[in-house]
Amino acid sequence: MYESQTCYIVGESKSPGNNAITKKYDSFFVGFVVDMNSNEIVDVECTAMLDITVHFVHSLFIGKKMTDGETVEQAITTRYFGSSKKALIVAFKQAQLKYYDIMNI
């Protein structure tokens, strides 16, 4: 399903205590499939209660570069108004650090 030049990275964070994600999963996870040649995010999945959340998270990340944190964070900040906004940003930043470590950036 994924090309050989891709890698899989997971970022994790905590959602607010009143969030259904926290009640069901305890943590907020975001998995990224990244093309290591172009740094492009080719797929993403998150622990969400609503399918529309997963689809919207796709729109925030697919086609963006894992190395372009400012642009991705700005898109989350200006477009995503779910209660797990901060958790999404933290999970992305954690995954980004893992990616930098893997790629020796």
CB of 41 within 8 A of CB of 91?
A: no
Residues 6+ apart with CB under 8 A from 19: 83, 84, 87
Which pLDDT tens digit goes with each residue over 65-86? 999 999 999 999 999 998 889 9
Q: How many domains does the chain have?
A: 1
Domain at 94, CATH number: 3.90.1010
- Is 74 contained in some domain? yes
In angstroms, how far is CA 66 from the centroid of its own chain?
Answer: 9
Contact indicator for 98, 65 with CB cutoff of 8 Å: no
pTM tops 0.85, yes or no? yes
- 105 in a structural domain: no
Domain membership of residue 49 as a residue range: 6-100
Q: Which residue bears the tokens 């996870």? A: 29
Does residue 17 sit within a domain? yes
Task: Answer whether residue 9 shows pLDDT above 70.
Answer: yes
Please report which confidence band the pLDDT of residue 12 belongs to, taking 50, 70 and 90 as the band edges. Answer: very high
Specify the pLDDT at position 14: 74
1 located within any domain: no
